[in-house]
Homo-oligomer: A and B are copies of this chain.
């Protein structure tokens, strides 16, 4: 085996996802080192308090309560941003890339709203900006899209990208569960936040669609330009009617290009039974990508959850180290 290359990480945020990343690295770093020659080391972890960092299984000397020490440390190679929310996440990612660090993020909102600017600063500094975990959890969606886009023009994306609403719609369709009861069940199972607005009103799906569509269009598509209808108004009658027609109602995120113009929409839609998307149940996700050469490809899997998401993040960290800035997509401003 070649000599080990030590890679220093700063993990910003130790919520559910951040803790899962810490755990994965603690459990798997020896195996990863053996297989790749890369020794992953957590140099910093940031949270609001040092206590929270310690509760995540880290030592006090790893704990920081602002990003600055990590950004200022020239030994930090990769910043893992799992804070969530637009700010300060977007500004921190920008600063990290500017200072020559690779950035791996799971933050769909910050990325969707600042994709062009973040991609530009990453490319200017020849650094990786990777975000596999931002859409579809552990589904290797970005790896797949990157490969397809190298040789295809992608003119349509269609998918079930929010597990919470898909779980609710599945319960409503398969067990005639009323909407509010299905939502409560999703919350009990940890699929939905106590405040479910981002999920049920389609904001989460719109952020994810903005990222996917920006990649296909190679220019930024802002989430505010996406027509967005949530699932709160879906009635048992509509669901029963869909079943009579041999299909189901799904919250679909759709982007379609025609003559250079993209139509973007997140809304409950009828999906006929002969479409694979009709058979995506519970909290699973599936994304359909249509390219001019490859035809229609569908990727399916757990769209969320700490284990799949952490797995995608660490995979991105390894790619950032091995392949660097060449992986960063070029996203033109809107």
The chain A residues found within 8 Å of chain B, CB to CB, are 24, 28, 32, 35-36, 132, 137-140, 143-144, 146-148, 150-152, 274, 276, 279-281, 286, 291, 293-302, 305, 307-308, 310-312, 314-315, 318-319, 322-323, 326, 330
Q: Across the interface, do B310 and A293 meet the contact criterion of CB distance under 8 Å?
A: yes
Give Cα distance in the complex from A279 to B146, angstroms: 26
User: With the chains together, A326 CA to B318 CA distance in Å?
Assistant: 11
Known pairs A143-B140, A144-B140, A298-B301; A151 contacts B311 (CB<8 A): yes
A311 near B293: Cβ-Cβ < 8 Å:
yes
Residue of B nearest to A139 (CB): B297
Residues in B whose Cβ lies below 8 Å from that of A323: 322-323, 326
CB distance from A5 to the nearest CB of B (A): 12
Contact B308 A294 (CB under 8 A): yes
Residues from chain B with a CB closer than 8 A to the CB of A147 are 132, 140, 143, 312, 315, 319
Given contacts A146-B143, A299-B298, contact A293 B308 (CB under 8 A): yes
Please name the residue on chain B nearest to A141 by beta carbon. B144
Given A140-B148, A143-B143, A279-B279: A302 in contact with B294 (beta carbons within 8 A): yes
Partner of A276 from the list B28, B151, B300 (CB cut-off 8 Å) is B300
Closest chain-B Cβ to A106's Cβ sits at a distance in Å of 14
Q: Chain B's nearest CB lies how many Å from the CB of A268?
A: 21
Q: From known contacts A140-B148, A295-B308, infer whether A300 and B300 are also in contact, taking CB-CB under 8 Å.
A: yes
The CA of A146 and the CA of B315, in the complex, are separated in Å by 9
Given the known interface contacts A35-B330, A300-B300, A323-B326, the answer about A24 and B151 at a Cβ–Cβ threshold of 8 Å is yes
In the complex the two chains form, is B295's CB within 8 Å of A138's CB?
yes
* Distance in angstroms between the alpha carbons of A140 and B142 in the assembled complex: 10
Q: How far is the CB of A82 from chain B (nearest CB, A)?
A: 15
Check A311–B291 contact: CB distance below 8 A. yes
For residue A150, which residues in chain B have a CB less than 8 angstroms away from its CB? 32, 36, 314-315, 318-319
User: Of all chain B residues, which has the CB nearest A20?
Assistant: B293
5 A-B pairs, CB-CB below 8 angstroms? A24-B151, A140-B143, A294-B302, A296-B302, A323-B326
In the assembly, what is the distance between CA of A291 and CA of B276, in Å? Answer: 22
Whether the Cβ atoms of B311 and A301 lie closer than 8 Å is no
Asked if A297 contacts B291 (CB within 8 A), the reply is no
CA distance A291 to B305 in the complex (A): 14
* Residues on the B chain within 8 Å of A301, using CB: 294-298
Task: Enumerate chain B residues within 8 angstroms of A281, measured Cβ to Cβ.
Answer: 274
A300 to B28, CA, bound (A): 30
CB neighbours (8 Å) of A140 from chain B are 140, 143-144, 147-148, 297
The interface residues of chain B lying within 8 Å CB-to-CB of A293 are 24, 138, 307-308, 310-311
B315 and A326 contact, CB distance less than 8 A: no
